Amino acid sequence: MIARLSGKVAEKGADHAVLDVGGVGYLVHLSAVALAQLPPAGQTATLRTFTNVRQDAIELYGFASEDEEAVFRALIDVKGVGPRAAQNILSGIQAKDLAQAIAQGDVARLTKVPGVGKKTAERLVVELKDKLAVLARAAGPARPAAGDGALEQLRQALVNLGYKPPQADGAVDRLRDASEGKKLDELLRDALKLLRG
């Protein structure tokens, strides 16, 4: 089983990236959150991975953090939720936020995630409430969207341009340290570079 990959980002797709590790290109499926945190093509990245072996294929799913991987592994233990569905769920909500919603039994919040209907949301709460409680406690109170001022305006601008909130949050988080004194148009330019790779 491949648990981790380190190499150069060769290319990025809508839901995957190709990582060049010693001359071999590994196609790794990623959530929108993990994809947003991946550096641009040509730069080095390290991803935690899950190897899914099917009768007709071997697929790699990548994660930007241990939390995302832990939530993914919990999700695929739920009946009717496969790796693709788990990845799609994590594209619509941050792993810690998902863990909090499940731990709190917040079905209404879960049904706002693309691809999660009421029955699936209820099943997630019933089957994962105890498993994800530790992660939810570690997450603490739900964090504000992205802060205030220019960073909040940047987040809104990215969402208005069609990026999913987790993608916008990922870009804002990566630019947070370098945002001091920058105007919104500069930040937006930097964020778009990050998101387009």
Q: Are residues 88 and 46 part of one domain?
A: no
Q: Which domain holds residue 96?
A: 66-139
pLDDT of residue 146: 37
Is the pLDDT higher at 148 or at 87?
A: 87
Same domain, 172 and 186: yes
Strand partners, 5: 47
In this structure, the answer to whether residues 28 and 59 fall within a common structural domain is yes
Distance CA(197)–CA(37), nearest Å, equals: 10
> Amino acid letter at 78?
V
Same domain, 71 and 99: yes
Contact 184, 157 (CB under 8 A): yes
For residues 123 and 88, membership in a common domain is answered with yes
- Same domain for 49 and 75, yes or no, is no
Q: Is residue 85 part of a domain?
A: yes
pLDDT digits (tens, 9 = 90+) for 98-129: 988 898 898 998 998 888 899 999 999 999 98
Confidence of residue 47 (pLDDT cuts 50, 70, 90): very high
Predicted pLDDT at 154: 83
Could you give the number of structural domains in the chain?
Answer: 3
- Looking up tokens 């870009």 gives 171
Q: What is the pLDDT of residues 125-171, one digit of tens each?
A: 999 988 887 777 765 554 444 345 678 888 887 877 778 878 888 88
Please tell me whether residues 154 and 119 are part of one structural domain.
no
Contact 88, 61 (CB under 8 A): no
144, part of any domain:
no
Considering the chain, what is the average pLDDT of its residues? 86
| Nearest residue to 159 (alpha-carbon basis) of 150, 148, 169, 149 | 169
Q: Does residue 86 share a domain with residue 56?
A: no
Answer yes or no: is 179 within a domain.
yes
Report yes or no on 54 lying in a domain: yes
Q: How far apart are CA 36 and CA 87, in angstroms?
A: 14
**pLDDT tens digits along 50-73:** 999 989 999 999 998 888 999 999
